[in-house]
Amino acid sequence: MKRSMIAATLAFVASLGVVAPAFADGDEPLDKVVGGSVWVTRLGGVAAGSAVGTPIAAVRQTVKAYRDWTPNLADKVGGKDCGPACGLVSLVTLPAAVVWGGVTGPYYGVKNGMQDGFNNPFTHQSFSMDADYDSGK
């Protein structure tokens, strides 16, 4: 009885080997499985990149605008090396930079989250933390 069960099992396994398709020939089923799992990761990367990257981009845009505008405007008042001129100019450039960061930050945060979150999910580029991200340079 035991030998007949082993023989039947071996015959069944051998018949499956003849009937079963060779997955290595086209890797089509494997590509479908991998492609399906990549979509879930990509959509998660887009959502996380947009949600986390938007406030980060807003802060980065605010700081960038403040650092660019203060010395430029101080040169017109008394020079960027003059402390009181920079302090006086900061009364105007700081609120303007906050507004500018609040307007352009969500644009760049969502843009980086969608673009880099889809192509390279969960990377520092998708979270707008890359030093060379496109910020209107």
Distance CA 11, CA 41 (A): 42
pLDDT by residue, tens only, the chain of 137 residues: 667 777 777 666 566 555 555 555 555 666 666 666 788 888 889 999 999 999 999 999 999 999 999 999 998 888 888 888 888 999 999 999 999 999 999 999 999 999 988 888 888 888 888 756 554 44
pLDDT of residue 34: 65
Distance CA 37, CA 113 (A): 19
Tell me the three state secondary structure of residue 100: helix
- Asked whether the beta carbons of 80 and 69 are under 8 A apart, the reply is no
Distance CA 114, CA 108 (A): 10
- Asked whether the beta carbons of 118 and 46 are under 8 A apart, the reply is yes
Candidates 98, 99, 91, 100; CA nearest to 73 is 91
